[in-house]
Amino acid sequence: MTPDAEPPASAAATKSGIVTLAGRPNAGKSTLMNHLLEEKVAIVSDKPQTTRHVLIGILSDRRGQIVFHDTPGMHRPLHRLNRQMVRGAREALSHADVACLVVDASQAFGAGEAFMLDLMSRVEVPRVLVLNKIDLVSKPKLLPRIERYAAKLAFDEIVPASALHGDGTDRVLEAFWRLLPHGEPLYDPDLLTLHPERFLAAERIREKVLERTHKELPFTTAVVIDRWEPVPERELLRIHATILVERPGQKKIVIGRGGATVKAIGTAARLDLEEFLERRVYLELFVKVEPRWREKRRVLAALDSEMLAAGPFGPASRTSS
């Protein structure tokens, strides 16, 4: 097909492609994706580096299909885990049909933002800038920030928004639809994500750990599903999961006095999982010290295998309701 040719009639009516959400840690990429999907695929937290893998969310409607790639926040990698995170984010940008830079508009422009602009300048697809968290910025300060970004890099669309409150997100979505190429859906329109339920369950448990711990713990904890046992006759799912930490002192923090903290984590996670999985859940949590797990190929491979059990670009196990 020549560049000026019309798309085939079967594809002309719909848009389809990958929108990669990139940015610094805690910019609000996961919150934005969840809001646009109207479903919770990515866990969210006020802790940086909450997202550790490229998470995939699928939005299908009469206009076509958007496949979101929610990437880990770009940061200086200090461990093997972090290097994998940054590498995954870079790779996701290389697959994008539309590249979206999400920035925290409430933060001052610095070296990290300059790095992201340089990275975005190398992509050869339409670019969208979302200035997120405008609810935290006064209007007189917002316009100069928009002008600064616009002066440094040509974006096809710049949209101020608040993913948390939904302000401006309709404009963000319209920008994506406008810039995506024509084509047929990449995946079954009934799918919401490509990640297995086991992985999504582990992430929701980790979210509860993040909510109830502080200091360095968010960076040094992971959740591994040990057993996943459906009991169909009782409409029950038994889940045994292990929370990994790196030091004995961190284990004490997660367990809490008299086991109070880990019990609270378990209760909150069970309620969340029951709503998500639409069945009763029996959840048992263990806490294990795994020194320097962020540097161990064995542990990282196990975590990746949970996420990739169906393959990030293969069959999915969860459908939207």
Interatomic CA distance for residues 302 and 294, integer angstroms: 12
Question: Among 77-86, 204-213, 259-268, which is the least confidently predicted range?
Answer: 77-86
Q: So what's the pLDDT on residue 92? A: 83
Q: What is the mean pLDDT of the chain?
A: 86
List of domains in the chain:
9-191 (3.40.50.300), 194-319 (3.30.300.20)
Angle between helices 197-212 and 297-307 (to 10 degrees): 120
DSSP tag of 73: P
Span 167-186, pLDDT tens digits: 999 999 999 999 999 999 99
Whether this prediction's pTM lies above 0.75 is answered by yes
Per residue in 20-38, pLDDT (tens digit) is: 999 998 899 999 999 999 9
On the question of pLDDT at 96 being above 80, the answer is: yes
Tokens encoding 134:
């405008």
Residues 6+ apart with CB under 8 A from 51: 29, 30, 42, 43, 70, 71, 72, 73
Fill in the amino acid letter for 155: F
Q: CA–CA separation, 11 vs 183, rounded Å? A: 5
**pLDDT at position 112 over 90:** no
DSSP symbols for 182-198: B---SS-TTEEESS-HH
